[in-house]
Amino acid sequence: MGRTREFDTEAAIAAAVEVFRSRGYQATSVQDLVDATGIGRGSLYAAFGSKDGLYEQALRRYSSTSLAWMAGQLDTDGPVRDVLRTLLLSLVDDTIQDPGRRGCLMTNAAVERLPSDASTGRIVGDSFDRVAELVETVLRRGRSRGELPQDADVTALADFVTTTIQGLRVQGKAGADRRRLAAVVETALGALPDPG
């Protein structure tokens, strides 16, 4: 009869998210993960298979949590520019208020692990695609209410906003202050086409 797992898998993944955000994949050792999770090396390998396995679980958890938060931010009936401004400024504040300026785990993974890591590429790509879908829903709603031109390419605009989000994350991690990042937000919103 096998031993029952004696640790909380979700808590271990959450702890791993914080380590990978702080140190990145390459600089994180298995011992760092053992120390952060409180799980013995053997149990960690039994549960996740490898450092890569735990990293993938951490990416999936971070993506799921971030997307749920973003969906909540965008689930409002306000004007499209106001909704997007609130989202973007919330992301700016999240980035600059993080004492370690660790950045977004998805963005960090894209910069550190791609294109050589196909598994990470799929997770990150799916996450970025989902962000674009959430933004596109807001843009379609705005277009249907006449806030954007009827011929506006909302798919391209959603990709533009998604790219802006990633740029804000990178600039914030690099030390840009709120004033500078808020100016980027306003410039991005100003680039959205006006109706008629």
| Kind plus residue range of the DSSP H or E element containing 17 | helix 9-27
Report pLDDT digits (tens) over 166-175.
999 999 999 9
Q: What is the pLDDT of residues 84-102, one digit of tens each?
A: 999 999 999 999 999 899 9
Q: What is the pLDDT of residue 196?
A: 72
Query: The pTM is what?
Result: 0.91
E strand spans, the chain = none
pLDDT value of position 131: 98
Give one word for 26, left, alpha or beta, with left for phi > 0 and alpha for psi -120 to 50.
alpha
Give the count of beta carbons closer than 10 Å to the beta carbon of residue 72: 10
Domain-wise residue ranges, the chain: 55-190
How many residues are given for the chain? 196
Quote the CATH superfamily of domain 55-190: Tetracycline Repressor, domain 2 (1.10.357.10)
- Whole-number pLDDT of residue 7: 67
Tell me the mean pLDDT per 10 residues along the chain, length 196: 62 95 95 92 91 96 97 94 97 93 94 95 97 98 96 98 96 95 98 90
pLDDT of residue 99: 87
